[in-house]
Amino acid sequence: MCKEEVLLLFKQIRDSLCTIVTRSIPVNTADDFTHSPDGMMRLDSICMLLVTIGEAVKNIDKYTHKSLFSKYPAISWRNVMGLRDIIAHQYFNVDAEIILRIVKVNVPQLQNEIDRIIIDLEKDALEENADK
């Protein structure tokens, strides 16, 4: 995995976060997820995106030898990766209330930090190209 691929993964994470926000607009309570087929589809799709985000974060962490995320301590990256494991391996125990809180509180914070990382990585790439 090269630096360009890491940047691409961050952009895919950003897109997934935007999709989560869009899909969760009509959701105001955990019941909005659990009391209708449409709500369950929203919950399922949001959980799948959270799994893919967690997996991407794990891959980035592995590629960067655990050095990148320490520069961005505003996010508990371990929790992002751990959420992936919980959803993937214990899906029937997923609590809609917790997912709602993650979507409404943590996702916007993660979006801001991902945007910051993308800006920093693009700036670093420009500086590297200027040095060549």
Query: In angstroms, rounded to a whole number, what is the distance separating the alpha carbons of residues 82 and 29?
Result: 24
Work out the burial of residue 46: count CB atoms within 10 Å of its CB; fewer than 13 is exposed, 13-18 middle, 19 or more buried: buried
Give the CB-side neighbour count of residue 8, counting CA atoms within 13 A: 5
Tokens of 31: 């019941």
* Nearest to 56, CA basis, from 19, 103, 12, 113: 12
Q: Which residues belong to the active site?
A: 84, 89
